[in-house]
């Protein structure tokens, strides 16, 4: 599904054919978002993450995106350090979420279960 939406904002960093990092960006028409960013242990603190974020930002700029947000768990100190170093101001925001499917994964879930729904009882209301 992600490869059909903003595929140019879904980046993979490789070292001799080995995936060592990924960044998943998106543009909702108002803001750019970096939803996921990950660098393989053993390749961290080598600017792989910085390279991925800079490339996502450059691609967003070319699409006309003027502001980019990143989603970070408050407990993720390394990520907060990383985004701060890369010029992001970190604020305290509260996330609200709600599942819109009935537990079968809906359209997105055809053939697989979305990661956000993993471990959730099927066909029952999600825990609040
Ligand atoms: C956060 C993450 C993506 C950083 O990737 P990285 O390739 O190691 O980052 P870089 O080498 O480009 O780091 C650039 C700067 O960010 C900051 N930084 C990176 N890792 C940090 C850490 N663990 N603690 C504090 N600051 C950190 C530093 O200022 C660093 O510069 P320096 O190495 O010169 O001190 C990586 O640690 C990771 O994959 N973590 C697990 C997944 C995750 O939490 N993803 C983010 C949430 S979506």
**Residues 85-120: pLDDT tens digits?**
999 999 888 889 999 987 665 555 444 444 443 334
Average pLDDT estimate for 44-54: 98
What is the model's pTM?
0.82
Mean pLDDT, rounded, of the chain: 84
Percent of the chain with pLDDT over 90: 66
Alpha-carbon dihedral sign for residues 56, 58, 64, 68: positive
Atom of ligand 1 nearest to the CA of 73: 47
- Which residue ranges have their beta carbon within 6 Å of ligand 1? 36-39, 44-50, 72, 76, 78-79, 81-82, 85
Task: Give the per-residue pLDDT at 2.
Answer: 67
Give the confidence band of 121 by pLDDT, cuts at 50, 70, 90.
very low
Exposed / middle / buried, residue 101 (Cβ in 10 Å: 0-12, 13-18, 19+): middle
- Distance (Å, rounded) from C-alpha 20 to C-alpha 31? 27
Average pLDDT estimate for 36-41: 97
Task: Give the per-residue pLDDT at 104.
Answer: 60
Pick the CATH number of 2-92 from 3.40.980.10, 3.40.50.920, 3.40.630.30, 3.40.190.10: 3.40.630.30
- Distance from the alpha carbon of residue 115 to the mean position of ligand 1, in angstroms: 23
Q: Where are the domains of the chain?
A: 2-92
Percent of the chain with pLDDT over 70: 78
- Helical segments of 10-111, H only: 48-63, 77-85
Which residue has the least CA distance to atom 5 on ligand 1? 49
The residue among 53 and 97 whose pLDDT is bigger is 53
Report the Cα 93 to chain-centroid distance in Å: 17
- Distance from the alpha carbon of residue 69 to the mean position of ligand 1, in angstroms: 17
Confirm if 40 and 24 have CB atoms less than 8 A apart: no
- Distance (Å, rounded) from C-alpha 55 to C-alpha 91? 23
- Distance from the alpha carbon of residue 118 to the mean position of ligand 1, in angstroms: 26
- Distance from the alpha carbon of residue 35 to the mean position of ligand 1, in angstroms: 15
Alpha-carbon dihedral sign for residues 81, 93, 26, 57: negative
Average pLDDT estimate for 45-61: 98
Atom of ligand 1 nearest to the CA of 35: 48
Give the confidence band of 75 by pLDDT, cuts at 50, 70, 90.
very high
């Amino acid at each position: 599904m992600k490869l059909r939406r903003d595929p140019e904002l879904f980046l993979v960093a490789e070292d001799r054919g080995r995936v060592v990092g990924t960044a998943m960006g998106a543009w909702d028409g108002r803001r750019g978002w970096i939803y996921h960013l990950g660098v393989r242990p053993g390749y961290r603190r080598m600017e792989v993450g910085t390279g991925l974020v800079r490339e996502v930002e450059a691609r967003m700029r070319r699409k006309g995106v003027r502001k980019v947000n990143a989603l970070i768990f408050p407990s993720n100190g390394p990520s907060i350090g990383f985004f701060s170093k890369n010029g992001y101001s970190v604020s305290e925001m509260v996330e609200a979420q709600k599942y819109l499917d009935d537990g079968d994964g809906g359209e997105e879930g055809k053939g697989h279960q979305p990661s956000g729904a993993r471990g959730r009882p099927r066909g029952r209301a999600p825990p609040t």
